[in-house]
């Protein structure tokens, strides 16, 4: 709904919008700034905005004292692993629902979505006990499987909406030329669906990275990802604002950057294709 | 185009997903139901056997239950109202022509990518803390006494944190919807002399109805499960002032080690979530069919 507009009006819009945007992003910007302050200056009163003694000591401390990197590796393994595992299971399902829809396909999709309505805390105990029994507690593989299951409905839904947009005629033509089901999926469908699959991967890595109920409750040490790492800062320990800020910055930076690149897909993915 | 063999193939390809989700849904649910009727406390392993509805009465009759349900509804309701209203306003603002729109969008969307424990700890320490937080500094500057946000207004503080996290989501979706509104319609209304307020209520708002519905539905799913933000800020306190239903169940397990009562709470939570879901679907179903 863009319309012609005078330069003055544009200037006013720009000023207003930038103020609102900076206000919303301020907690993040302030955290990043604080992460470069020496601890005493981090709690200085009145607060120091830019004129402090810039340092990267906090980052070094967080790595040395808290073993940041280990949590980071866990986060990477679990979020990417669960997304890829989910993809392998979801692609065939989404394919079949998009191209060979049955009378129940819509109901099936709605049912898959409804599994996400179950409050996690309601089933924490059984999952916890099953995990103990199977020796999965505090393992990367256990967490990978749980996060895959949590995000599977979203992955299927996203892929389904993308596959739906691929014209069925093309598949028909490939079949006429003698392509089997395997060739059809590998050489015709997948290349056309790459953008959709890429967006699905991106959004699901973000969701898995930030998931903080199961990741905190099902891990202690070995498999603990960054969510658990940060939760370890919940009780204050002396002067720790700068270190908390450094740890926070390191926990959110990778995903924040990925997120900026996936704005468009985010809308579609999180609304299950209802808003494009 | 569906031949017999392709239909069979489709079934086969669909089955792993269906089976996995079915297991993921049914096994924990059945176990939760089973535990909810059993005496099962990790601190008293010798007490066993059926407890009929004892766990349910214990959970529902506990003094915190009513408060927890109320807190959950207030949290979800307040965050929905705040994010939808502010989301519409901000979407209207940043949709207008301006310089640096791309950067503005990135700044506005950013809080959504912050993991809940980080968001909560940033607010708790850097803003809410009465001595060192920025709000405390602002109060000092204005000559006001410092205010202990998490102690004095715990639920409101959590609502603020959660709203901050979800505002970008609402804004982004409403912005996407706004961009699909045709300019001609608005221009025509403008030429006919419709003032901005009636243009908003008669053209823009109806156009956004479907997106608002989607925002409400999806946020409700996620907001009913808010957990990490409470865990790292107030832990449900002071007292039970900021205890929600999920957090009350969590306390049964982590503090009382009472698996049976926690399971009963879980069943109650599942039932309530379904009531909310049905109620919502019904209230907004018309919008989604279109």
Q: Report pLDDT for B290.
A: 40
Does B281 reach chain A within 8 Å, measured CB to CB?
A: no
Distance from CA of B71 to the nearest CA of A (A): 16
- pLDDT band at B104, cuts 50/70/90? very high
| CA-wise closest residue to A127 among A119, A118, A137 | A137
Q: Structure tokens of B119?
A: 């968001």
Average of per-residue pLDDT across B25-37 = 87
CB contacts under 8 A, B 43-102 vs A, are 90, 93-101
Both A129 and A228 in one domain: the answer is yes
Contacts of B250 in chain A (CB under 8 A): 121, 124
Which of these ranges, A94-108, B242-256, B274-288, has the smallest mean pLDDT? Answer: B274-288
Q: What is the pLDDT of residues B43-77, one digit of tens each?
A: 777 777 787 777 888 888 888 888 999 999 999 99
| CA-wise closest residue to B277 among B222, B229, B239, B231 | B222
Distance from CA of B48 to the nearest CA of A (A): 17
Q: Report pLDDT for A249.
A: 94
Do the domain assignments include residue A31? yes
* Interface-testing mutation among A26, A74, A121, A166, with chain B (most B C-beta atoms within 10 A): A121
Q: Say which of B127, B177, B274 has its CB closest to residue A27.
A: B127
Average of per-residue pLDDT across B188-214 = 84
| Nearest chain B alpha carbon to A48 | B134
Average of per-residue pLDDT across A221-235 = 88
Both A75 and A38 in one domain: the answer is no
pLDDT of residue B230 exceeding 50, the answer is: yes
CATH of residue B86's domain is 1.10.3720.10
Instruction: Provide the number of structural domains found in chain B.
Output: 1
Does B18 reach chain A within 8 Å, measured CB to CB?
A: yes
| CA-wise closest residue to A157 among A99, A90, A207 | A90
Do the domain assignments include residue B127? yes
pLDDT of residue B197 exceeding 70, the answer is: yes
pLDDT of residue A139 exceeding 60, the answer is: yes
| Nearest chain B alpha carbon to A267 | B173
Q: Report pLDDT for B157.
A: 94
Do the domain assignments include residue A136? yes
- pLDDT band at B89, cuts 50/70/90? very high
Give me the percent of chain B exceeding a pLDDT of 70: 95
* Interface-testing mutation among B8, B24, B172, with chain A (most A C-beta atoms within 10 A): B24
Average of per-residue pLDDT across B28-35 = 87
**Which of A59, A83, A100 is the C-terminal boundary of a domain?**
A59
Phi/psi at A46 (nearest 5 deg)?
A: -70, 160
Both A37 and A86 in one domain: the answer is no
Are B243 and B236 contacting, i.e. CB atoms less than 8 angstroms apart?
yes
Contacts of B83 in chain A (CB under 8 A): none
Both A90 and A224 in one domain: the answer is yes
Do the domain assignments include residue A160? yes
Contacts of A161 in chain B (CB under 8 A): none
Judged by CB atoms closer than 8 Å, whether chains meet at A122 and B269 is answered as yes
Hey, how many other C-beta atoms are within 10 angstroms of the C-beta on A77?
16
* Interface-testing mutation among A30, A75, A103, A123, with chain B (most B C-beta atoms within 10 A): A123
Do the domain assignments include residue A164? yes
Both A126 and A214 in one domain: the answer is yes
Q: Report pLDDT for B41.
A: 79
**Which of A41, A59, A77 is the C-terminal boundary of a domain?**
A59
pLDDT of residue B185 exceeding 80, the answer is: no
| Nearest chain B alpha carbon to A46 | B137
- pLDDT band at B282, cuts 50/70/90? low
Higher pLDDT: A124 or A78? It is A78
| Nearest chain B alpha carbon to A7 | B98
Tell me how long chain B is. 290
Both A29 and A99 in one domain: the answer is no
CATH of residue A211's domain is 1.10.3720.10
- Cα–Cα distance list, A108 to A6, A19, A119, A135, A166 (Å): 52, 45, 20, 32, 21
Do the domain assignments include residue A103? yes
Average of per-residue pLDDT across B154-163 = 95
Q: Report pLDDT for A73.
A: 94
Q: How far apart are CA A209 and CA A19, in angstroms?
A: 30
Question: What is the domain extent for residue B102?
Answer: 62-289
Higher pLDDT: A32 or B39? It is A32
Do the domain assignments include residue A44? yes
Q: Structure tokens of B185?
A: 């319609």
Judged by CB atoms closer than 8 Å, whether chains meet at B132 and A43 is answered as yes
| Nearest chain B alpha carbon to A249 | B118
Judged by CB atoms closer than 8 Å, whether chains meet at B169 and A209 is answered as no
pLDDT of residue B262 exceeding 60, the answer is: yes
Q: How far apart are CA B168 and CA A156, in angstroms?
A: 24
Tell me how long chain A is. 276
Q: What is the pLDDT of residues A74-104, one digit of tens each?
A: 999 999 999 999 999 999 899 888 888 887 8
Both A193 and A122 in one domain: the answer is yes
Higher pLDDT: B42 or A133? It is A133
Which of these ranges, A15-19, A151-155, B150-154, B251-255, has the smallest mean pLDDT? Answer: B251-255
Do the domain assignments include residue B28? no
Q: How far apart are CA B15 and CA A97, in angstroms?
A: 11
Distance from CA of B250 to the nearest CA of A (A): 7
Helices B101-109/A7-34 angle, 10° precision: 40
Average of per-residue pLDDT across A20-24 = 94
Both A90 and A115 in one domain: the answer is yes
Q: Report pLDDT for A4.
A: 63
Both A24 and A100 in one domain: the answer is no
Judged by CB atoms closer than 8 Å, whether chains meet at B1 and A126 is answered as no
Average of per-residue pLDDT across A247-251 = 93
- pLDDT band at A248, cuts 50/70/90? very high
Do the domain assignments include residue A255? no
Are A105 and A157 contacting, i.e. CB atoms less than 8 angstroms apart?
no
Judged by DSSP in three states, B239 sits in: coil
Q: Report pLDDT for B235.
A: 87
Q: Report pLDDT for A185.
A: 74
Both A44 and A89 in one domain: the answer is no
Are B214 and B173 contacting, i.e. CB atoms less than 8 angstroms apart?
yes
Judged by CB atoms closer than 8 Å, whether chains meet at A212 and B115 is answered as yes
Instruction: Provide the number of structural domains found in chain A.
Output: 2
Does B166 reach chain A within 8 Å, measured CB to CB?
A: no
Both A150 and A96 in one domain: the answer is yes
Does B134 reach chain A within 8 Å, measured CB to CB?
A: yes
Q: Say which of A13, A97, A130 has its CB closest to residue B97.
A: A13
Both A13 and A124 in one domain: the answer is no
Do the domain assignments include residue B269? yes
Question: What is the domain extent for residue A30?
Answer: 7-59
- pLDDT band at A274, cuts 50/70/90? low
Distance from CA of A161 to the nearest CA of B (A): 16
Q: Report pLDDT for A3.
A: 57
Do the domain assignments include residue A273? no
Judged by DSSP in three states, B63 sits in: helix
Average of per-residue pLDDT across B133-155 = 86
Are B120 and A270 contacting, i.e. CB atoms less than 8 angstroms apart?
no
| CA-wise closest residue to B112 among A111, A129, A270 | A270
Q: Structure tokens of B197?
A: 């307020």
Higher pLDDT: B114 or A106? It is B114
Q: What is the pLDDT of residues A172-181, one digit of tens each?
A: 788 788 777 7
A-to-B residue pairs, Cβ atoms closer than 8 angstroms: 292
Contacts of B31 in chain A (CB under 8 A): 123, 125-126, 129-130
Task: Report angle CA A76, A82, A87 to the nearest 5 degrees.
Answer: 125
């Amino acid at each position: 709904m863009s319309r012609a507009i005078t330069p003055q009006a544009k200037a006013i819009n720009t000023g207003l919008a930038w103020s609102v945007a900076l206000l919303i992003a301020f907690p993040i910007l302030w955290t990043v700034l604080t992460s470069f302050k020496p601890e005493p200056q981090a709690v200085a009163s009145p607060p120091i905005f830019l004129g402090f003694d810039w340092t990267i000591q906090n980052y070094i401390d967080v790595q040395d004292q808290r073993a940041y990197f280990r949590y980071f590796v866990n986060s990477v393994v679990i979020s990417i692993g669960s997304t890829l595992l989910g993809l392998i299971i979801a692609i065939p399902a989404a394919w079949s629902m998009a191209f060979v829809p049955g009378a129940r396909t819509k109901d099936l999709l709605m049912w898959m979505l409804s599994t996400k309505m179950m409050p996690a805390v309601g089933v924490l105990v059984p999952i916890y006990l099953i995990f103990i029994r199977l020796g999965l507690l505090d393992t990367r593989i256990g967490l990978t499987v749980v996060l895959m299951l949590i995000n599977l409905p979203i992955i299927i839904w996203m892929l389904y909406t993308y596959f739906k947009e691929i014209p069925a005629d093309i598949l028909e033509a490939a079949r006429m030329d003698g392509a089997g089901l395997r060739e059809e999926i590998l050489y015709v469908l997948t290349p056309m669906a790459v953008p959709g699959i890429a967006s699905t991967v991106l959004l699901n890595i973000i969701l898995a990275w930030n998931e903080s109920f199961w990741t905190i409750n099902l891990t202690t040490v070995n498999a603990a990802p960054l969510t658990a790492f940060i939760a370890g800062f919940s009780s204050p320990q002396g002067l720790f604002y700068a270190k908390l800020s450094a740890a926070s910055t390191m926990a959110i930076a990778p995903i924040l950057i990925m997120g900026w690149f996936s704005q468009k897909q985010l809308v579609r993915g999180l609304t299950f294709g209802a808003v494009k | 185009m569906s031949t017999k063999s392709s239909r069979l193939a489709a079934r086969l390809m669909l089955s792993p997903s269906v089976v996995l989700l079915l297991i993921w849904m049914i096994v924990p649910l059945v176990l939760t139901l089973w535990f909810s009727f059993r005496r099962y406390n990790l601190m008293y392993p010798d007490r066993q056997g059926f407890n009929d509805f004892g766990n349910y009465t214990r959970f529902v009759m506990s003094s915190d239950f009513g408060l927890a349900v109320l807190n959950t509804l207030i949290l979800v309701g307040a965050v929905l109202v705040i994010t939808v209203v502010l989301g519409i306003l901000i979407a209207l603002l940043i949709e207008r022509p301006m310089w640096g729109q791309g950067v503005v969008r990135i700044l506005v969307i950013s809080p959504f990518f912050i993991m809940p424990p980080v968001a909560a700890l940033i607010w708790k320490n850097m803003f809410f803390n009465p001595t060192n937080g920025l709000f405390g500094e602002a109060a000092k500057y204005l000559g006001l006494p410092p205010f202990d946000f998490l102690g004095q207004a715990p639920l409101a503080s959590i609502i603020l944190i959660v709203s901050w996290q979800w505002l970008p989501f609402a804004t982004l979706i409403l912005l996407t919807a706004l961009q699909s509104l045709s300019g001609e319609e608005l221009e025509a209304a403008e030429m006919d002399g419709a003032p901005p307020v009636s243009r908003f209520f008669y053209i823009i708002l109806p156009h956004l109805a479907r997106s608002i519905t989607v925002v409400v539905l999806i946020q409700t799913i996620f907001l009913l499960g808010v957990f990490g933000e409470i865990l790292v800020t107030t832990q449900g306190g002071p007292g039970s002032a900021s205890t929600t239903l999920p957090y009350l169940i969590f306390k049964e397990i982590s503090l009382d080690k009472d698996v049976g009562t926690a399971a009963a709470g879980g069943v109650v939570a599942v039932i309530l979530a379904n009531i909310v879901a049905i109620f919502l679907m019904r209230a907004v179903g018309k919008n989604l069919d279109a």
